[in-house]
Structure 1
Amino acid sequence: MPTPRWVAHANKFSLNLITRYIAPWAPGWALVVHRGRKSGRVFRTPLWAFRRQNRYVIALTYGSESDWVRNVLAADGCELRTRLRHYEVGSPRVYRDARAADMPLPIRLMLRYVLRAPDFLSVDILRELP
């Protein structure tokens, strides 16, 4: 079971305000830049993301029904800022992996035993942006 929605809502107005500045350069973090399905507004969501060959895998700590996930799926991609690089990513795919095999060991343990969040989003790197 992913982290409860009330925690996501609280983080939106607290922790995310801080991690939004850390995510573009800190290892293991990324800033997902996506557009709202209804509003058309641009949003920046800080997340755990790890590169695996020509794709990124993002831990869905709040589950696959989060607004940002639905926005990325509807748009068939987004922009990703991580490690001071900027990518256009596409072909988003939500999948479940109870073992969290694509995550580094400390994150894997947290996702499996603390957060109990088995869902992930995989996105292919289309190109690096300037």
Structure 2
Amino acid sequence: MAERARIQTAFEPVARALAGKRWFPLWAVIHHRGRKSGTEFATPIAVVPTSDRSIVLIGLPWGTTTNWARNVVAAQGADLTWKGRTIRTTDPRIVDPTEAAALARPAFRFIVKRMPGAIVLRTA
């Protein structure tokens, strides 16, 4: 657990600097509100390319109980700053690696299958 926290802490400044930029489409920022605190958060995430443009797939390499993912599911959606613009997403659900891999483009299936799960959202 301590190793995971160290990796996240080291990675976060780089992700924050690049996430959501038009010229860096792999990373985005998901804007969500805490389930209990009501605090607004902006979390950098990596978007997995899918064949369906109405679906946003985000891998959960740190597990399916990640707080931001639970916040998004509880709120039934979130805003996503991605490719230089903000879009509204709805209908979030956490899926297993097999379903996530089926939604991902072929080049990304290998990676998604090795994650504990993913979150799927629809663009509004």
- Into which bin does the TM-score normalised by the smaller protein fall? 0.7 to 0.9
Q: Which runs of 5 or more residues in structure 1 are unaligned?
A: none
Query: Alignment identity in percent?
Result: 29
- Pairwise CA RMSD: 2.1
Cα gap change, 1:107/1:24 in structure 2, threshold over 3 Å: closer, same or farther?
Answer: same
Counterpart Cα distance in 2 of 1:65 and 1:21: 25
Q: Which runs of 5 or more residues in structure 2 are unaligned?
A: none
Q: Equivalent residue of 1:91, what SS?
A: strand
Counterpart Cα distance in 2 of 1:77 and 1:59: 16
Partner of 1:79: 79
Q: CA deviation at 1:105?
A: 4.5
Deviations 1:13-71 (A, max 9, x none): 32112201211021222111111112211111111213532121111111210000110
1:10 to 2:6 alignment: yes
8 Å contact from structure 1 (residues 30, 46) kept in 2? yes
Partner of 1:66: 66
Q: CA deviation at 1:106?
A: 4.7
Partner letter of residue 81 of structure 1? Answer: T
Deviations 1:62-116 (A, max 9, x none): 121000011001111111011111111111011113372333445433344xxx2
Counterpart Cα distance in 2 of 1:119 and 1:54: 20
Partner of 2:16: 20
Judging by fraction of residues, say which structure has more helix.
2
Partner of 1:110: 111
Partner letter of residue 101 of structure 2? Answer: A
Judging by fraction of residues, say which structure has more strand.
1
Counterpart Cα distance in 1 of 2:32 and 2:5: 18
8 Å contact from structure 2 (residues 55, 121) kept in 1? yes
Partner letter of residue 28 of structure 2? Answer: A
Partner of 2:43: 45
TM-score (norm 2): 0.81
8 Å contact from structure 1 (residues 48, 59) kept in 2? yes
Q: CA deviation at 1:8?
A: 4.2
